[in-house]
A and B are shown apart, each in its own frame.
Chain A
Amino acid sequence: MLGYLVALLILGGIYALLTISLDLQYGHTGLVNFGLVGFFAVGAYGSALVALAGYPIAVGFAVGICSAALLALPIGGLALRLRDDYFAIVTLGFSEVVRLVIVNEEWLTKGGLGLPGVPRPFAQLGVGGAEAAYLALVVACNVIVVLVIRRVVGSPFGRLLQAIRDNETTVVSLGKSPPGAKVRALVIGAAIAGLAGALYAHYITFVVPDQFLPIVTFYVWMAMILGGVGRLSGSLAGAAVLVLLLEGTRFVRDLVPSVLAVEMASIRLILIGLLLIVFVIYRPYGVFGSPSRQ
């Protein structure tokens, strides 16, 4: 039982990082990023490939994070020139192109076969110890990221981001530079998503392109909206709800055995869709968020 809960906490922590990443980009800066999973994938593959080549896992993590961040630069360039909905579509396309490249550049990524045997850290601690240590790693990453984001959001740069989100023309007239700020927000967010990807790859120990479909991006959007846009505690809460949703439906079946697993999968997706719709209509700021951030 404990092992199962630890696994859920680890995955929840990874989703939390993704939610925080998206929240920085959308919640604080107003960038409608529908391609989050692309940065997630780059972080996962970057770290996995480096570690499988024999380098220390820490190096792998660094490469994963930096690759994701670098990839955000051209996307940031696009963000400057495009309105919300077009940016959303283009980023969606971007994440699919990333997946296409991963599938087809087999000399590097083994394509659809995936990369098995991604090394796990803490192997010397035995099975139970390694899991606990990994959880500690994930929690530590979350803590660090939360602290960093808090500082970013509270800084002048952070206030600039919110001003951009709320009224960009005013910002320009005040002589500030939105473009640079937007790109920086995107890059920082991408780095966090890359970190989440690296943590994911080394936990599941197997990366395959099918894990990086657009649905993951929309899971995170749902988590962010549910938990509360523009608020860190909201991101954490949203990620928790997401994992609960993904796993909870399993136990509903134990209570109502006549419902088949096939139906459960459909019901789960219906729930996610409905939650998205309902929260967008009635509680766009989520459970913890608020319309005005002071």
Chain B
Amino acid sequence: MDRSRRQIIKQGAGLALVASLPSAVTRALAQGGETLRIGALNPVTGAGSPYGGGMQKAIILAASEINALGGVGGRKIEIFAEDSETSPEAGVRAAKKLIEVNKVQALLGTWSSGVAAAVMPLTDAAGIVHSTNAGASNITSSKGLMFRYSGLSVRVGEALGRFAAKRGHTRLATMAFNNPSGREITGGAKAAWEKLGHQLVGEVIYEPNRPSYRSEVQKILAANPDAIVMGAYLPDFISILRETRQAGSNVKFYTPAWTVNQSLIDAVGPKATEGVYVHDYVAALDSAAFKSFVDRFRKATGIDATENYYACCAYDMMVVVGLAAEAAAGKGALQDSMRTVANPPGDVVYDFAQGQKLLKEGRKINYEGASGPIDFDQMGNVKPLFKLSEIKDGKVTMIGKVFEDY
């Protein structure tokens, strides 16, 4: 309780600082000088609100750090921040404003698949880079302008299914929140499970915001699984985990990172969280970029980035665009330099300052970010490195297995 109280006070103080950042950044445009105009379109409200505020602040923080170094090739970055409201229509209106009124040169940080799908035609038509965290596999750009900084939901599910298999489970079931993210995760797990020659023993799809998931849990437990893969969010996972344990079952859960944090452990108690395995992104917790970002972000905003993976992605989105703009430097379009600065081969750099310095020396760089190695494939997706953690004695401990073969 003390910890969170401190957090809230710090958050309040930090908010004041970051609240002034947008105006500070927007007023940083040199009179008569050109700026690099970046649109931050994030789910500050709506279903994505646990992440959107942090994402937006991360983008703003990155921009202010870059501007403190003198900007990109002498140009300051100007951030135009809008709320997508996790709604396709609101997202379209905001994107229109960013593209048509603010004339942004890149759009960063869409999160919901619905918003990304509705906004993609707009960014494609405008020919600008669209960096997203949306997980649905049907989100693509016909012009190679999409860059996805987190794993496809399907890949997350496949990883969870394979983890469960590797750990020796034979009776796997899935429970999915009835939305694209949840369904694609469990769909991926099912596909991976079947590719290994097994069949699921049970599948349940549940509706959001129910007062109780007891019947859903009852159905899945009736199939007698030894492990359940979850495509869920934090509130429903808390409810389901609690119901399962109260029903007397010790079934193991394999669940994505955003469903597990201190709130979960506090809410259900450490005994109930035994046997919960968490899939997460590997570099996130190991890399120097991550640790440094977490510190700076906490100082600037009071927000704990270890609980908001998407904020780490958003930070990287801004840094990569900054580095790409530095590398492109009037020679070509932004999107053509994205892989140049983020993919191997090249000197590994962990922040913009390092990267800018090496670029000026004419070297090829490979940015490894706070959210992961950030290596884009042909489709614009990063190749995520996953790992498994286990909640033991109320603490999330890495088991340390890393799967690379996707």
Among the listed stretches B81-89, B290-298, B324-332, B379-387, which one makes contact with chain A, having 4 or more residues with CB under 8 Å of it?
A: B81-89
Which of chain B's residues have a CB closer than 8 A to the CB of A204?
A: 88-89, 92, 118
CB-based contact B100/A1 at 8 Å: yes
- In the assembled complex, B165 has its CB within 8 A of some CB on chain A: no
Residue of A nearest to B25 (CB): A257
A246 / chain B contacts, CB cutoff of 8 Å: 90, 93
Q: Is the CB of B114 within 8 A of A3?
A: no
Bound CA span A129–B100, Å: 15
Check if A262 sits within 8 Å of B45, measured CB to CB.
yes
CB within 8 Å for A206 and B44 given contacts A1-B100, A260-B19, A265-B83: no
Are A11 and B53 within 8 A (Cβ)? no
Q: Mark A106-121, 1 if CB is under 8 A from B, else 0.
A: 0000011110100000
Q: Report Cα–Cα, A260/B89, bound state, in Å.
A: 21
Cα distance A157–B94 in the bound complex, in angstroms: 43
> How many positions in chain A have a CB within 8 Å of any CB in the partner chain?
33
**If A247-B93, A257-B23, A261-B82 touch, does A205 touch B45 (CB 8 Å cutoff)?**
no
Contacts A1-B101, A112-B180 given; does A205 touch B121 at CB 8 Å: yes
Contact with B along A85-108 (1 / 0, CB 8 A): 000000000000000000110000
Q: In the complex, which residues of chain A have a beta carbon less than 8 angstroms from the beta carbon of B183?
A: 111-113
Query: Across the interface, do A11 and B93 meet the contact criterion of CB distance under 8 Å?
Result: yes
Interface size on B, residues (CB 8 A): 40
Interface string of A1-35 (1 = CB under 8 A from B): 11110011001000000000000000000000000
CB-CB under 8 A from B22, the residues of chain A are 257
**Smallest CB-CB separation from A104: which chain B residue?**
B178
Known interface pairs A112-B179, A113-B180, A261-B56; A7-B88 also in contact (CB < 8 Å): no
Q: Write the nearest CB–CB distance from B35 to chain A, whole angstroms.
A: 16
> Which residues on the B side are within 8 Å of A208 (C-beta)?
88, 114
Per the bound structure, the CA–CA distance linking A104 and B87 in Å amounts to 20
A113 to B15 alpha-carbon distance, docked (Å): 35
In the complex, A290 has a CB within 8 A of chain B: no
- A127, A250, A262: the one within 8 Å of B94 (CB): A250
Contact of A211 among B15, B23, B87 (CB under 8 A): B87
A216 → B minimal CB distance (Å): 9
| B95-114 contact mask (Cβ, 8 Å, vs A): 1 or 0 | 01101110000000000011
Closest residue on chain B to residue A14 by CB atoms = B89
Most buried by A among B53, B85, B121, B136: B121
Separation in Å of the A260 CB from the closest CB of chain B?
Answer: 6
Question: What string of 1s and 0s marks CB contacts (under 8 Å) between A238-265 and chain B?
Answer: 0000000011001000000110111011
Contact B96 A114 (CB under 8 A): no
Contacts of A264 in B (CB 8 A): 83
**Pair A206/B83 contact, Cβ less than 8 Å:** no
- Chain B residues, Cβ within 8 Å of A262: 44-45, 49, 53, 83
Residue of B nearest to A106 (CB): B183
Contact B178 A112 (CB under 8 A): yes
Please pick, from A11, A127, A210, A250, the residue contacting B87 in the complex, using a CB distance under 8 A: A210
The answer to whether B100 and A3 have CB atoms under 8 Å apart is yes
Chain A facing B: main interface SS:
helix
What's the nearest-Cβ distance from chain A to residue B91, in Å? 9
Contact B88 A3 (CB under 8 A): no
Cβ contact of B88, chosen from A11, A211, A260, A265, cutoff 8 A: A211
CA distance A260 to B125 in the complex (A): 30
Report B158-210 residues with CB < 8 Å from chain A CB.
178-180, 183
Q: Residue B128 at the A interface, CB < 8 A?
A: no
Contact of A116 among B93, B97, B117 (CB under 8 A): B117
User: In the complex, which of the residues A3, A205, A206 contacts B96, with contact meaning CB atoms closer than 8 Å?
Assistant: A3
Query: What residues of chain A lie closer than 8 Å to B138, measured between beta carbons?
Result: 113, 116
Kindly list chain A residues whose C-beta atoms are within 8 Å of the C-beta of B15: 260
Alpha-carbon distance between A11 and B178 when the two chains are bound, in angstroms:
29
Interface contact B114-A206, CB-CB below 8 Å? yes
Binary contact readout A253-293 vs B (1 if CB under 8 angstroms, 0 otherwise): 00001101110111000000000000000000000000000
- Which residues from B are CB-within-8-Å of A111? 178, 183
A residues in contact with B117, CB < 8 Å: 114, 116, 206
Residue pair A258, B19 in contact (C-beta under 8 Å):
yes
Q: By the criterion CB–CB under 8 Å, are B44 and A261 in contact?
A: yes
- B47 vs chain A, min Cβ distance (A): 8
Q: Does B20 contact A (CB under 8 A)?
A: yes
A257–B16 Cα gap in the complex (Å)?
A: 11
Please, how many angstroms separate the alpha-carbon atoms of A113 and B88 in the complex?
12
Residues of A within 8 A of B125 (CB): 127
Q: In the complex, A104 Cα to B179 Cα: how many Å?
A: 10
A4 touches B87 (CB 8 A): no
Q: How far is the CB of A177 from chain B (nearest CB, A)?
A: 40
A contact residues around B178 at 8 Å (CB): 103-104, 111-112
* Smallest Cβ-Cβ distance to B83: which chain A residue: A261
Residues of B in contact with A (beta carbons under 8 Å apart): 15, 19-20, 22-23, 26, 44-45, 49, 53, 56, 81-83, 85-90, 92-94, 96-97, 99-101, 113-114, 117-118, 121, 125, 136, 138, 178-180, 183
30 A–B contacts, CB within 8 A, in A order: A1-B100, A4-B96, A4-B97, A7-B93, A8-B93, A11-B89, A11-B93, A113-B138, A113-B180, A114-B113, A114-B180, A204-B92, A204-B118, A206-B88, A206-B114, A210-B87, A211-B114, A246-B93, A247-B93, A247-B97, A257-B19, A257-B23, A258-B23, A260-B19, A261-B44, A261-B81, A261-B83, A262-B44, A262-B83, A265-B45
Query: Other CB < 8 Å A-B pairs besides A113-B183, A210-B88, 9 of them?
Result: A3-B99, A4-B96, A4-B97, A114-B117, A206-B117, A211-B114, A260-B44, A262-B44, A262-B53
Considering the complex of A and B, which 5 residue pairs feature the smallest CB-CB distances, nearest first?
A: A265-B45, A257-B23, A3-B100, A4-B100, A261-B83
